[in-house]
Structure 1
Amino acid sequence: MDLPFDFESQLAARATLVERRLADRLDGTPRPGEIVLPPRILSAMRYALLGGGKRIRPFLLMEAAALFMPDADTEAAALDVAAALECIHTYSLVHDDLPAMDDDALRRGRPTLHIAYDEATAILAGDALLTLAFDMVTDPSTSLAPERRVALVSALSRAAGFGGMVGGQMIDLASENRHLSEEEIVTLQAMKTGALLRFACEAGAIVCGATPDDRERLSRFGEAIGLAFQLADDLLDLTADEAVMGKATGKDADRGKATLVSLHGAEWAHTQLRGLVDAAVELLEPFGDRAEPLRQAAGFIANRRN
């Protein structure tokens, strides 16, 4: 009889793999084409990137790839892309914390990068993490076919760029102390938070050369859990303790930011979360038991406590 799947152990195991891959890439050794790695920016990048976190986006990417039973080379490529995605996510947090943006002093229970170092270093470290991500996806050492690397670069650029995460951040900044409709809030959140989560799920299919139908199915799964992630985040911003979250809470209300929770209330949000998890799980039905890690990930995202 098979033992039940242990989600938290698998999440931690995937996080360890990603942490090691990132630490190896930031070992201080210049790669071909690099001239020198200034110690201060390298130190700042390591501080931001190796500072913990659940690594939920890399987990989603690697588990999405696992649906297609990849060989060892493809698994290694999925790990590289997962690590690259974490570089993008971390750069976004570093820039989001800056005084010109959300002006946060705490991230993952530690001083934010611009507090621990300085603003200029934080900006440059974020820039370096962004470009490092594309270096990792396109590295010639990977066994991934060139057309798959091109597809990954295209999808990641659009998810992270001005039509995705960056654009969502711009809309978010412009919306402070301004009434937004429900449709506008959903669009903002699908861009700022959901785009990278959607990419994580779709990228697993791209890495493995899955069919267009499977790629679309996982993209839709990513959209559903992206909405759930932001809804849960908005609830936590209202109810969670700063010590548990490892960052400031209650800031959305303080800055006059509209959220679906502020629009409809916590009870409505909990009902929506249940519906989003059900929709996400339904999308995974064709994959059978192989999708159990992703099913549990959907529930984890909707019910997280930090």
Structure 2
Amino acid sequence: MSIDKRIAEAKERVEHALDGRLPPATIHPARLHEAMRYAVLGGGKRLRPLLVYLSGEALDGQRAALDEAACAVECIHCYSLVHDDLPAMDDDALRRGRPTCHRAYDEATAILVGDALQSLAFRLLARATAVPAETRVAMVETLAVAAGSRGMCGGQAMDLAAVGHQLTEAELEDMHIHKTGALIRASVRLGALCAPDATADALERLDHFAKCIGLAFQVQDDVLDVDGDEAVTGKPSGADARLHKPTYPALLGVAETRAFASKLCEDALASIEPLGDRAQGLREVARYIVERDH
């Protein structure tokens, strides 16, 4: 199966699952529920749900057990985008080719959208009855750590503190491993936890794979912010430079940054080689991450 087909299949599956799990826009408070659906449905690469599905598939997991995890991680991701776009953060006007949530609604509603999506994510994991209770607890802990101060929120705090400062390569890597990489690593682990073959060795290999592709994803994002086509990326180019944010192209140059992304991809592929043909989808995703144009 081609990567485009895998992405399309995962998007269709998780879109349907999310539609059924988000509160209907007709239920009170209707404006909040409408804004939650606006922020989540109808756009995005759905990379994190795809990773949930593919990591579970690599360990012979059943897809029915993966839907709650896929929806939960996407709710956390969408909440983070809504909050990142706020004037107090990145102050972005476009997301996925249309007005950001706070522009389409208002700042207060956007803040509540993020809060409600985060709450919904953990509710979904708590009721994932297709897996044992102890697995659900492990999944909740995995996502909580990835989303909190030791993960995504911590990375965002590092990002805000770094504005206008020159970071070393090690500092920049640490920031991105937290800000972007933590949720990607959680996506892979959540899928693996849903599978019966989640041995300690397999989890360790998948975690190293996820660490590499999580950093590669942000490295490629930095490149696209410099030379990406706004019509393709769906957001303004050059935002990082305008905000004086530290990036890999600013530190290393675009050519060396691309080479770094390729090296991360190679390391990721090597880590899952023993998983054989079952991990083919993950290999295709790793290559897609460093070759994408949006």
Is the contact between residue 12 and residue 54 of structure 1 (CA under 8 Å) also seen in structure 2?
A: no
**Structure 1 CA distance, aligned partners of 2:171 and 2:103?**
33
| Matching residue of 1:145 | 132
**Structure 2 CA distance, aligned partners of 1:298 and 1:214?**
17
How many residues are treated as equivalent by the alignment?
Answer: 293
| Matching residue of 2:36 | 45
Aligned match for 1:15, one of 1, 11, 14: 11
Q: Deviations over 1:231-256 (max 9, x none)?
A: 10000000012221111110111111
Q: Residue 28 of structure 1: CA displacement?
A: 2.5
Aligned match for 2:20, one of 20, 24, 32: 24
| Matching residue of 1:106 | 94
SS in 2 for 1:163: coil
Q: Which amino acid in the other structure matches residue 31 of structure 2? A: R
Q: Residue 47 of structure 1: CA displacement?
A: 0.3
**Structure 2 CA distance, aligned partners of 1:145 and 1:126?**
29
**Structure 2 CA distance, aligned partners of 1:6 and 1:161?**
34
Aligned match for 2:104, one of 95, 103, 116: 116
Q: Deviations over 1:49-86 (max 9, x none)?
A: 00311101100111000012224xxx212111011100
Is the contact between residue 25 and residue 37 of structure 2 (CA under 8 Å) also seen in structure 1?
A: no
**Structure 2 CA distance, aligned partners of 1:188 and 1:18?**
29
SS in 2 for 1:92: helix
**Structure 2 CA distance, aligned partners of 1:254 and 1:29?**
36
Is the contact between residue 217 and residue 283 of structure 1 (CA under 8 Å) also seen in structure 2?
A: yes
SS in 1 for 2:66: helix
**Structure 1 CA distance, aligned partners of 2:87 and 2:250?**
25
**Structure 2 CA distance, aligned partners of 1:51 and 1:212?**
37
**Could you state the TM-score of these two structures normalised by the residue count of structure 2?**
0.97
**Structure 2 CA distance, aligned partners of 1:102 and 1:86?**
20
Q: Residue 206 of structure 1: CA displacement?
A: 1.1
Q: Which amino acid in the other structure matches residue 140 of structure 2? A: V
Q: Which amino acid in the other structure matches residue 171 of structure 1? A: M
**Structure 1 CA distance, aligned partners of 2:272 and 2:200?**
15
Cα root mean square deviation, aligned: 1.4
Runs of 4+ in structure 1 off by over 4 angstroms are: none
| Matching residue of 1:163 | 150
| Matching residue of 2:244 | 256
TM-aligned CA distance change 1:29 to 1:260, over 3 Å: closer
- What runs of 5+ residues in structure 1 fail to find an aligned partner? 31-35
Q: Which amino acid in the other structure matches residue 287 of structure 1? A: L
**Structure 1 CA distance, aligned partners of 2:216 and 2:190?**
19
| Matching residue of 1:82 | 70
**Structure 2 CA distance, aligned partners of 1:206 and 1:39?**
35
Q: Deviations over 1:97-119 (max 9, x none)?
A: 00000000100000000000000
- Match status 1:276 vs 2:269: no
**Could you state the TM-score of these two structures normalised by the residue count of structure 1?**
0.93
Q: Residue 27 of structure 1: CA displacement?
A: 4.7
Aligned match for 1:229, one of 204, 213, 217: 217
| Matching residue of 1:265 | 253
- What runs of 5+ residues in structure 2 fail to find an aligned partner? none
- Match status 1:177 vs 2:164: yes
Is the contact between residue 51 and residue 108 of structure 1 (CA under 8 Å) also seen in structure 2?
A: no
**Structure 2 CA distance, aligned partners of 1:45 and 1:170?**
24
